[in-house]
Amino acid sequence: MVPPIEHPRWREILDGSVDHVFKSVPAGLMVSRLRRQLQSDGSTASWDKSLQEMRAFFEKYEKITAHDLDAIFS
């Protein structure tokens, strides 16, 4: 199960305080892209949009990102 968006680990993934090497290449690319976007626009709206996009990705592809989710949230 994908944790709720309020879980602090989502934000930690994007701000880089959790440095996870993704097994799922698409997930790693998506997180890298979102981090770059947040470096250029760190507004609250950008953070909210990025968090929603990241969680939606993991929810949609839960089966192929299960290993990463387990490692990040356990």
- Return the structure tokens found at 59: 């929810």
8-18 pLDDT, tens per residue? 999 999 999 99
In this prediction, residue 36 has a pLDDT band, given cuts at 50, 70 and 90, of very high
**Enclosing domain of residue 39:** 19-73
pTM of the model: 0.92
Q: Does 7 fall in a domain?
A: no
CA distances in angstroms from 67 to 1, 14, 49, 73, listed in the order given: 12, 18, 24, 10
Closest CA to 68 of 33, 18, 34: 18
**Residues 51/14, Cβ–Cβ less than 8 Å:** yes
Q: Is 16 exposed, middle or buried (0-12, 13-18, 19+ CB in 10 A)?
A: exposed
Q: How many domains does the chain have?
A: 1
